[in-house]
Amino acid sequence: MSERNRKTSIANNSSVAIVGAGPGDPELLTLKALRRIQKAEVIVYDRLVSRAIISFAKPSAELIYCGKAPGKHAMTQEEINSTMIQYAHAGKNIVRLKGGDPLIFGRGGEEALALAEVGIPYTIIPGITSAIGASASASIPLTHRGIAASFACITGSRCQDSNKPIRWDLLAHSVDTLAIYMGVSQLHDIQQELLQAGKPHVTPIAFIEQGTTSNERIVTGVLGEMSKLAEAKKLTNPALIIIGEVVLVRDQLQYAMKQALKLQQIG
């Protein structure tokens, strides 16, 4: 058997799943994702995958960290792709584990294409993305009747990309709620772009730091003071930024919950 045919045969016996680990809380992991993690022989995992989720792996599983922090990457994207292909050729049961959803700012599509190009089948298992999980945990609905009928998920890390700039001028008025990932390092630029596009200075904003986890922290304010507020509160990654009137619904929901708890105690 030729080397090429041998590798194809081995790859056909392997299993590769690109899995979303959700926004942080291990209880928000899907059952399908959990089953694949528990069966995996090799887990290639990102920085935002919690230790609690990694603990679901079987003791014999090989754990490979490939996290990317700002300015510090454990592996390049090409090395990640190569690692998955190498283990697939060895016939291993592989899970590529990503925070949130693998196809929302997670490069899951790129990795799927890399596998497909060398004839390796894959499965994609969705996860709860941060915009949905963190905002719900913070009692901020991304849509709310009479207030917001649309939302957009945006990556703030592309702010300085002159080749494909983010059209903040269009987003400022065409979408009711903005959910911005990876925007902490670009807060000043985001703020200025939206204000210059005519977004009101008093537009409500919220930072959700480490959303859905035990270390979750929520800071609210207004767009015109956004970057100063983040600096004063020493905001750190990972943090989701929500911009829109829906942020004000948080106070209503918290008040309603307190009232409900009081009635329950009385009853």
- Cis geometry, peptide bond prior to residue 238 (ω within 30 degrees of 0): yes
- Residue 233 confidence (pLDDT): 96
For residue 199, the domain's CATH number is 3.30.950.10
Q: How many whole angstroms separate alpha carbon 73 and alpha carbon 241?
A: 23
Residue 23 placed within a domain:
yes
Residues 6+ apart with CB under 8 A from 225: none
Residues 79, 170, single domain; the answer is: no
Residues 161, 92, single domain; the answer is: no
Residues 120, 142, single domain; the answer is: no
Residues 236, 148, single domain; the answer is: yes
For residue 25, the domain's CATH number is 3.40.1010.10
As to burial, measured by CB atoms within 10 angstroms (0-12 exposed, 13-18 middle, 19+ buried), residue 66 is buried
- Residue 137 confidence (pLDDT): 97
Number of domains in the chain: 2
Residues 197, 245, single domain; the answer is: yes
Given 128, 143, 160, the domain boundary residue is 128
Residues 6+ apart with CB under 8 A from 132: 23, 142
- The answer to whether the beta carbons of residues 177 and 248 sit under 8 Å apart is no
Identify the H or E element spanning 16: strand 15-20
- Residue 12 confidence (pLDDT): 58
pLDDT in tens, the chain (267 residues): 344 444 444 445 679 999 999 999 999 999 999 999 999 999 999 999 999 999 999 999 999 999 877 667 789 999 999 999 999 999 999 999 999 999 999 999 999 999 999 999 999 999 999 999 999 999 999 999 999 999 999 998 765 555 678 999 999 999 999 999 999 999 999 999 999 999 999 999 999 999 999 999 999 999 999 999 999 999 999 999 999 999 999 999 999 999 999 888 886
Residues with active-site annotation: 46, 68, 182
Q: Return phi, psi of residue 58, to 5°.
A: -70, 150
Residues 122, 234, single domain; the answer is: no
Residues 176, 189, single domain; the answer is: yes
Query: Whole domain around residue 11: which residue ranges?
Result: 3-128
- Residue 121 confidence (pLDDT): 95
- Residue 263 confidence (pLDDT): 86
Beta strand pairing call for 123-125 and 15-20: parallel
